């Protein structure tokens, strides 16, 4: 058995606040709508998070996060950049937003939507 076979699959955590916000958002959408979070090239730091409401079933390579009435999908390529991250929802004086605390990011921009690895 190789070390790769023994290594646990990377995971992402969805906080209760984020799950409640996702559930609230998708409750206003057609049945079966989920939030897909992905990583794309771009942004001011090299990579950026994309948030899309989609009506699709998970693919075999998706990480599926279910909490309460919220479902979040993350594809395997994005998971390579997001493994170990925590998805949170923050509501403070400067606004409301999803924030991803990513241990793989070595730098991020002020808005929190782009990062470098």
Please tell me the pTM assigned to this model.
0.83
What is the distance, to the nearest Å, from the Cα of residue 81 to the centroid of all Cα atoms in its chain? Answer: 10
The domain segmentation of the chain, as residue ranges, is 3-116
CATH fold label, 3-116 = Hypothetical Protein Aq_1857; Chain: A; (2.60.300)
Tell me the residue length of the chain: 117
Dist. CA 5–CA 15, nearest whole Å: 28
pLDDT in tens, 22-48: 999 999 999 999 999 999 887 666 788
Longest dimension (CA), the chain: 52
- In which band, very low, low, confident or very high, does the pLDDT at 112 lie, cut at 50, 70 and 90? low
């Amino acid at each position: 058995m190789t070390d790769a076979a023994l290594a646990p699959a990377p995971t992402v955590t969805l906080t209760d606040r984020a799950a409640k916000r996702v559930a609230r958002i998708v409750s206003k959408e057609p049945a079966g709508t989920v939030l897909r979070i992905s990583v794309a090239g771009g942004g001011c730091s090299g990579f950026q998070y994309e948030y899309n409401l989609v009506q699709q079933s998970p693919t075999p390579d998706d990480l599926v996060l279910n909490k309460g009435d919220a479902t979040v999908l993350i594809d395997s390529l994005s998971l390579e950049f997001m493994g170990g991250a925590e998805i949170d929802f923050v509501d403070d004086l400067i606004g409301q937003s999803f924030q991803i605390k990513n241990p793989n990011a070595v730098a991020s921009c002020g808005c929190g939507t782009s990062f470098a690895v």
